[in-house]
Amino acid sequence: MATQRLFFALELPDTLQQQLVQWRADCFPAEAGTPVAAANLHLTLAFLGDVSDTTAARLQQLAARITQPAFTLDLDDAGHWPRPGVVWLGCQRAPRGLLQLADLLRAQAARHGCAQSAQPFHPHITLLRHATEQVALPPRQFHWRCDIQHFALLASVFRQGRTRYQAVARWPLRAASGV
């Protein structure tokens, strides 16, 4: 049976990807870790793992039914997880819409046999992998806002010695109601 390595995620606009790449280059020396390719910068909502085509199709049908409002993501926090060697960018206060969307997708994934981490959801964008334990984080003088209008199902594709993330499907979030 054919499988794909899949995950639900928020894709970042190209302009934000480029801004983050420049900021990362300005803030972290080359020896700090392995940079994630600009095109691979994303925020994982629910990791699915190796999924059969049948399960992937069912999860896509369920994702299409989600009527979650759009939200704004404020990227204003950074950290280093020494054990996995990851430097990340995230938000000090995750928007309720992001948490709800992740909870919905993680619950659907679990019901369809995709094991979910017992760790609480920590929304983040991985900037560096294989980061040294001595990596110094930049001072807290950064902030990016990103209006999130859709979410996606991404496939992890390993080709020619590189991993790339390719969109399998995308779904719009409904317009936020005026308050």
The catalytic site residues sit at 42, 124
Residue 151, beta-bridge partner list = 171
Tokens 């496939």 locate to 155
Residue 9, beta-bridge partner list = 44, 152
Between 53-64 and 96-111, two packed helices, what is the crossing angle to 10 degrees? 140
- Which residues contact residue 20 at a Cβ distance below 8 angstroms, ignoring those fewer than 6 apart? 12, 38, 41, 89, 125, 127, 144
- Burial label for 143, CB within 10 Å (0-12, 13-18, 19+), is exposed
